[in-house]
Structure 1
């Protein structure tokens, strides 16, 4: 058995070879850049208006209107002192523009512009290179592309991006008692839910599973199912069958398929019977069968590896410390990840902390961590990993 810290270190220390590919801009969301990006030109490329209004030459309250510039115009207008032109947001300002006055603070009579207040030099002008200059670093390798990142890449004229490939992921669920939702079930059977939680969590963080397979509690079937799954994935996630019961065949089946154990069992609650192994460049997580345990282990451990394999510069859930709303004592005898809700900057540990209880996790938005035997008074800080 290993500690939480040891398990995370083992995952972090895995030597991997990252793969890269070219993605169209519209398909690159959630991927990590495989090389640094520098700006190919100044952004903006020219001085432009920050709003609809009037470009002014000189600082007065009365001007002669001499023209108009719309966004995208390439024509050059040279204004004399005391002249102004109508201008629109994003339009290139004439070279000798002193300021831009927003239209709400102006009035026009015939061809004369009147200002409600005196302009200030340079106001409402976005200066050339004000955001980026040519050759300036934009993003480092490993930056994960979010919607604003895509907007910026588009503004730099980049339609294709070099990114790290994401791992191919297969899922296996095990258990004689499991029945697919929507199918009839008998006494003693339950509807299978873990694969939906894992699949959903994958999608939540920008990953997709390639195959999903259900296997009964049979040694040969388990061994064959694992062999088949390993033929088409970088990461195999198995739910159930990893404990020490008479019908838990996953651990032996992994060994027979050439998977080397990196750790088995973590001193924690929930999710003690967690397995992590490797076969050459493939990785296997065998998660506990209880729903809350399975999903907790995904958030804390599996996500770390998936993001590492995707070239992310930072991995894992966003983690913060918040004051707890009430006193709490960890009486589980192990370091614990608690289903919790962070509301208005304070943490509430929710009822229903059992490994099989998923409703409280569904209603919460965080996993709060408390060490073995830790006692917290109201207002004490508690570490929380945000899951939504």
Structure 2
């Protein structure tokens, strides 16, 4: 005997991918903010603008090992060496108490503060040294110009300049900037915690021996890796057998506990596809339950109390693509990432070989990118069925094949979506 949801299973309205993405992102706001120490902020998203508390460099800095001098003293070096009295030595980290005046010089190291009065540094290789009665002299062999080999105050950054914008991801360069300016605590967006579970009585744990008719639960661990890459914190829960009441309680509990919930499996139109029934049962607001795409047309999204539920296909290829197109942008928006960086970047490429499948929906075909004769070329995977898992690891892009192409010949210009790490 059928359920009251049976008829609705077959009347799904397919949204185009951009419309489905917009529905999701309209439900998402930037997340909570926390303060952490800068040294622990690698790959976090900053939640405040950081401005320079002082110029950098904060003092006139020598760009060479050599001698700090008054440049005008060297005007007559064309006639021979000009000898200057050495009155001080300035290692890095020290400040000279001497003022360099005409006829004098100071030995100085790269990066040290240039003494007052000096307006040039002559490199060591352009000098000679002598000592007379305990007095050191330096001979300047070539003319110097004012400002030579001296990095002025504020050459890189002036006081008040913006160092980092809110929404910026912190990497090695950003950490260097923070340390340079003594910013030892910063505000960052808290990583969203994402609950994951798979549905299906056919699923085995990763540690279980293989059994007839069953498969190991691989999608959960793939999703956990994708969530980490996107900037979230995954929480892996036990797989749920095909029991709608159990699924309901688990989903509702997860939506109360976590920022997002992602499930895989149970969203098509079979008798045991419980997530589709759960989303339609009225306990949450369904955003969509069909998208005009292959693979993953049955991808479903719903919201309850501002918490999003993503029900992805149980097929590995469709699950992988569904996460990239819908879940990843939501995580990135919670993290406060700039609007123009929420979606994965798109390039234009040529097809390296023909793609002959025809469908009424846009296809997102796994592929690899190569640069050949200065052109970006995309090669579709030989095995791209929704159920195929193995080509995920070899892919660097998703090739977009719209239905109007009726397949695509070799050499056709196509849009490609770069996968995370594609340029690494």
Q: Same fold (TM over 0.5)?
A: yes
> In the alignment, is residue 49 of structure 1 matched against residue 62 of structure 2?
yes
What is the aligned partner in structure 2 of residue 351 from structure 1? 382
2:353–2:410 Cα contact (<8 Å) kept: yes
1:324–1:382 Cα contact (<8 Å) kept: no
What is the aligned partner in structure 1 of residue 191 from structure 2? 166
Q: What is the CA RMSD across the aligned residues, in angstroms?
A: 2.5
What is the aligned partner in structure 1 of residue 88 from structure 2? 67
Report which of the two structures shows the higher radius of gyration computed on alpha carbons: 2
Compute the TM-score of the two structures, normalised by the length of structure 2: 0.83
**What residue ranges of structure 1 are gaps of 5+ in the alignment?**
none
What is the aligned partner in structure 2 of residue 319 from structure 1? 346
Distance in 2 between residues matched to 1:104 and 1:287, nearest whole Å: 68
> In the alignment, is residue 361 of structure 1 matched against residue 392 of structure 2?
yes
1:133 to 158, 175, 189: 158
Distance in 2 between residues matched to 1:44 and 1:194, nearest whole Å: 51
2:216 to 191, 194, 218: 191
Answer with 319-328 or 64-73: which moved more. Answer: 319-328
> In the alignment, is residue 4 of structure 1 matched against residue 17 of structure 2?
yes
1:16–1:281 Cα contact (<8 Å) kept: no
What is the aligned partner in structure 2 of residue 306 from structure 1? 331
- The structural deviation recorded for 1:284 is 0.8
Instruction: Output aligned runs, 1:145-294, within 5 Å.
Output: 145-255=170-280, 258-294=283-319
- The structural deviation recorded for 1:22 is 1.1
Distance in 2 between residues matched to 1:42 and 1:193, nearest whole Å: 52
Distance in 2 between residues matched to 1:84 and 1:330, nearest whole Å: 78
2:191–2:335 Cα contact (<8 Å) kept: yes
- The structural deviation recorded for 1:81 is 3.0
Distance in 2 between residues matched to 1:205 and 1:262, nearest whole Å: 22
Answer with 274-283 or 136-145: which moved more. Answer: 136-145
- Describe the shift of the 1:46–1:348 C-alpha distance in structure 2 as closer, same or farther (beyond 3 A): same
> In the alignment, is residue 35 of structure 1 matched against residue 48 of structure 2?
yes
CA-to-aligned-CA distance 1:33-80 (integer Å, 9 cap, x gap): 323222111121111123444433316365544332222213333223
> In the alignment, is residue 387 of structure 1 matched against residue 420 of structure 2?
yes
> In the alignment, is residue 371 of structure 1 matched against residue 386 of structure 2?
no
- The structural deviation recorded for 1:3 is 0.6
